Amino acid sequence: MKSIGEHLDELDRMVEQGGTTDKIPSQIAFIEREVAALQASHSAEIQRLAQVGEEYCAECAKLEAELKNLYSANDKKAGKTPNSVSKPPIKGRMGR
């Protein structure tokens, strides 16, 4: 199967060599279909990545809340006062 670049090169050769007029529109139509398919695939991938990003952020927030609760429970067990509570060992979102 030819790549889109190879089809474009073929179209270019057809035009330069004075190819028959029935083959040139056919080649252009094929390239248009391929580009449309790539655009649709790209749009779907962008949506999928946005969803994955949202899920990741939600999971990070959930884990950060769990970590905060664990530190709080640990401080209560140790009898620490609010001024001497433990701080998580990481800075920022998940250590990054």
The string of DSSP letters for 54-78 reads HHHHHHHHHHHHHHHHHHHHHHHHH
pLDDT at 54 (0 to 100): 95
Residue 5 token pair = 């670049």
Looking at residue 89, its pLDDT comes to 62
Q: What's the pLDDT at 71? A: 87
Q: Which residues fall within 8 angstroms of residue 13, CB to CB, at 6 or more apart?
A: 19
State pLDDT tens for residues 54-88.
999 999 999 999 999 888 888 888 777 666 656 66
Instruction: Provide the pLDDT confidence category of residue 42 given band limits of 50, 70 and 90.
Output: very high
- Asked whether residue 93 carries a pLDDT value surpassing 60, the answer given is no
Please report, for the chain, the start and end positions of each structural domain, with discontinuous segments joined by +.
4-78
pLDDT tens-digit map of 6-34: 888 888 888 888 767 777 788 888 888 98
Please tell me the pTM assigned to this model.
0.52
Q: Which residues contact 85 (CB under 8 A, 6 or more apart)?
A: 71, 72, 75
Phi/psi for 58 (5° steps) reads: -65, -40
Contact predicate 96/57, CB 8 Å: no
